[in-house]
Amino acid sequence: MKRAIAKVAGVSAAAMTMALIPLAGTSYAAGCYGTSCDNLGPVSQACDKDATTKATATADGGLKAELRWSPACQAAWVRVTDSSGGQWWDKYGYIEKWSGYGTGFVRSLSVKFPNPGSDWSNMLGGSGYYYRTCIKDTGTGHIDCSTFW
């Protein structure tokens, strides 16, 4: 009888332990939401976990700026990628936040293109806004932008 009770107790303890361990990738807690995400990092706030690319701007030389959006955080940021390995001391990717479709500029954040690789800006949040991403060459003043999203 004591063995049966010990087995049941052992199985119950194992079942309870397994119930407390979440499955990998099933959930995460975003660290901010909406405008509380403004100027915070997407990775440090776990907003990168569910992010998708909504728009892209490209420029000569293999430069790409992607508008990334997190539904869980209701925030956007720009991810820049340089596939050429060039020296881009004068090129930046940035994200713009607008209150209307091309009207009512609110704020922008930028990030310098790495040499080579990827990097990202901090976030701008809020679901009631329009966003776009751009690539700016500060040496020439040339700007390439995505469509608004």
For 46-77, the DSSP string reads TGGGG-EEEEEEEETTTEEEEEEEETTTTEEE
Distance between CA 90 and CA 135 in Å, rounded? 10
pLDDT for 60: 81
Global confidence as pTM: 0.78
Residue (of 15, 63, 28, 56) closest to 149 by Cα position:
56
For 106-122, how does the pLDDT look when each residue is reduced to its tens digit (9 = 90+)?
999 999 998 888 999 99
Residue 14 inside a domain? The answer is no
What 3-state DSSP class applies to 136? strand
**Nearest partner of 77 among 107, 116, 115, 117, judged by Cα:** 107
Q: What is the CATH number of the domain that holds 72?
A: 2.60.40
Which residues span the domain enclosing 81?
34-145
Q: At CA 132, angle to CA 119 and CA 83, rounded to 5?
A: 35
Residue 3 counted as domain residue: no
Degrees, nearest 5: CA angle 67-72-74: 50
Is the per-residue pLDDT at 88 higher than 70?
no
For residue 47, being part of any structural domain is answered with yes
Residue 62 vs residue 6, higher pLDDT: 62
Q: Provide the number of structural domains found in the chain.
A: 1
Secondary structure tally for the chain: helices H, strands E: 1, 9
Q: Which range, of 8-12, 38-42, 58-62, 88-92, averages the lowest pLDDT?
A: 8-12
Residue 62 lies in a domain: yes
Whether 101 is covered by a domain: the verdict is yes
Both tokens of residue 63?
């430069």
